[in-house]
Amino acid sequence: MFTGIITDVGKVLELEQRGDLRARIASAYESSGIDIGSSIACNGVCLTVIDTGIDGSQHWFDVEISAETISKTNIGKWVAGSRINLERALCVGDELGGHIVSGHVDGLAEVVLMENEGDSTRLTFQVPSELARFVASKGSVALNGTSLTVNGVDGATFDVNFIPHTKESTIWGNASVGDKINLEIDTLARYVARLAEMQGNPQ
């Protein structure tokens, strides 16, 4: 489990197709402190560490990514040099600063509008219709692994305000219209919607 609070911005060093896709990611995380088999959220996708190392002063870890994961996320757009949001798995006793995030991406949202508002930037996202009903004004979403609060919703679009700190400490400072973003809806919203369905259609 994760919280959606980004703790590092990594860089894709290498990509290699070995049946599954293998990626090597540079990070400020010390490789000696990353256990093989541990989980790291990479742009919001929970991936399992299969190797670690250090080249000079550059720490790195390797992950394997299945075709199914690539088909559901924006990992297919990764190239050597791509910058990605990183978060290590939540430990018991850690501060829960965002919201509970599983690292299981529900679909892709597209940036359709960007507007500067003072030092902040408001981004509007278009989401698949089957996911739109789970997004609520003032509710939470995870976008590329970042825990964010929804400002407003209009049909299948919603908008989020990015403060300067978020833009500087994540990859959001480089966002552009047309970007496809990993979207994980709030687990609580999913269960509330399911309960509403069950009450409306009693067995």
Domain residue spans of the chain = 8-88, 107-199
**Which of 192, 178, 187, 110 lies closest to 143, judged by CA?**
110
Same CATH topology for 8-88 and 107-199: the answer is yes
| Residues facing 42 on adjacent strands | 45, 86
b vs e for 105-129, b when ≥16 Cβ sit within 10 Å of the residue's Cβ?
bbbbbbbeeeeeeeeebebbbbbee
Q: Could you tell me the two tokens for 197?
A: 């369905």
CATH class, range 8-88? mainly beta
CATH class, range 107-199? mainly beta
pLDDT by 10s per residue, the chain, length 203: 899 999 999 999 999 998 899 999 999 999 999 999 999 999 999 999 999 999 999 999 999 999 999 999 999 999 999 999 999 998 766 667 778 899 999 999 999 999 999 999 999 999 999 999 899 999 999 999 999 999 999 999 999 999 999 999 999 999 999 999 999 998 777 767 667 667 766 55
Q: Could you tell me the two tokens for 51?
A: 């190797």
pTM of full prediction above 0.85: yes
- Contact between 104 and 46 under an 8 Å Cβ cutoff? The reply is yes
Q: Tell me which amino acid residue 6 is.
A: I
